[in-house]
């Protein structure tokens, strides 16, 4: 029975092929080449960006106010003379 459904599907597709308009403008090969070139360019830019981001060595400096230890509640901090 699977052969019957495949042939039935093909008979439904044949009339659709006759309805193709030959005057219709499509992107064609040139459109594909331009799209492929753009995709290749984006891929190369992403690869380059990934390489440059890997070279970045960023260490955030600690906040100076958070670096000093907080005094215990109820006690005053010692003063440096």
Q: Say if CB 77 and CB 71 are below 8 A apart.
A: yes
* pTM beyond cutoff 0.75: no
Of 48, 24, 70, nearest to 78 by C-alpha is 70
- In whole angstroms, give the CA distance from residue 68 to residue 11: 82
Q: Say if CB 73 and CB 79 are below 8 A apart.
A: no
pLDDT score, position 39: 98
Residues of the chain with pLDDT under 50: 1
pLDDT score, position 10: 64
Q: Which two tokens stand for residue 58?
A: 């960023």
User: pLDDT per residue over 28-50, tens digit each?
Assistant: 899 999 999 999 999 999 999 99
- In whole angstroms, give the CA distance from residue 38 to residue 24: 25
């Amino acid at each position: 029975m699977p052969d019957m459904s495949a042939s039935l599907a093909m008979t439904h597709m044949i009339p659709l092929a006759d309805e193709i308009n030959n005057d219709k403008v499509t992107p064609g090969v040139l459109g594909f080449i331009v799209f492929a070139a753009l995709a290749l360019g984006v891929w190369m830019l992403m690869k380059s960006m990934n390489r440059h981001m890997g070279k970045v060595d960023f260490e955030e400096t600690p906040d100076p106010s958070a670096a000093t230890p907080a005094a215990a509640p109820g006690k005053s901090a010692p003063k440096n003379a």
